[in-house]
């Protein structure tokens, strides 16, 4: 099962976010009947394991310890915490999928917590919800850079969800994404900051080139 195994465009409005999040699961995890059991996709991942979520997390993560989470959710809280991302987390939980969803927002000038970066390395799959304001958050971009690093270094599976944004806007850093990166560059005060912005740009391009799910307004 490869990362390009699901793609498409679904119309979305404020009344169908939960249904959209729920419908995403069969597409991502191969559970066409929507049964509250281990989805078929995870079964493929686990084919050489025990065939249970326990066996799934028995694989080795970045730290050399067993995976702690099945899924890491990367999202911009102000855009989707109380909508799509929250519904997706609830739907995963209902199916017995251990998903990490951070409950805090990063304050101005704060750095991403080591625990968050650790959770990414201890997850088998990362679902990245690209929303309108995702790139304006340094925290989200740090998460994404770490996710791409884990994908390249240890084969972490990455599923991008383009929530009300066009994939090309993420890939080319145009529109809101382009302006957000310009703002970050203008706030750079050191050579290290400039290198970090370059790393963010590369991560955005790589992630947007992965086949994903496009949710749009009607």
Compute the distance between CA of residue 43 and CA of residue 50 in angstroms, rounded to an integer.
9
In whole angstroms, what is the distance from residue 17 CA to residue 115 CA?
A: 29
**Residue appearing with tokens 């099945």:** 70
How crowded is residue 47: how many other Cβ atoms within 10 Å of its Cβ?
Answer: 9
**Catalytic site residue 169?**
no
Of 75, 72, 86, 77, the C-alpha closest to 17 is: 86
**151 in Cβ contact with 120 (< 8 Å):** no
Which position among 62, 132, 143, 169 bears the catalytic label?
143
| Element of type H or E holding 159 | strand 157-163
Instruction: Determine contact, residues 75/129, Cβ cutoff 8 Å.
Output: yes
The residues annotated with a catalytic role in the active site are 143
């Amino acid at each position: 099962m490869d990362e390009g195994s699901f793609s498409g465009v679904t119309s979305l409005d404020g009344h169908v976010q939960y249904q959209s999040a729920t419908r995403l699961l069969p597409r991502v995890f191969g559970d066409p009947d929507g049964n509250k059991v281990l989805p078929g996709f995870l079964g493929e991942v686990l084919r050489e394991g025990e065939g249970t979520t326990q066996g799934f997390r028995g694989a080795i993560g970045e730290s050399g310890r067993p995976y702690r989470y099945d899924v890491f959710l990367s999202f911009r809280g102000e855009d989707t915490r109380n909508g799509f991302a929250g519904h997706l987390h609830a739907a995963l939980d209902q199916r017995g999928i251990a998903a990490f969803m951070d409950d805090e927002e990063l304050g101005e000038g704060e750095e991403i917590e080591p625990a968050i970066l650790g959770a990414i390395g201890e997850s088998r799959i990362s679902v990245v919800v690209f929303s309108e304001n995702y790139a304006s958050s340094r925290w989200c971009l740090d998460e994404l850079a770490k996710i791409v690093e884990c994908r390249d270094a240890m084969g972490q599976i990455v599923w991008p969800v383009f929530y009300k944004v066009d994939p090309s806007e993420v890939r080319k850093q145009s529109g809101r994404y382009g302006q957000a990166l310009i703002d970050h560059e203008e706030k750079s005060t050191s050579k290290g900051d400039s290198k970090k912005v370059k790393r963010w740009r590369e991560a955005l391009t790589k992630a947007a080139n992965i086949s994903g799910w496009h949710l749009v307004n009607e």
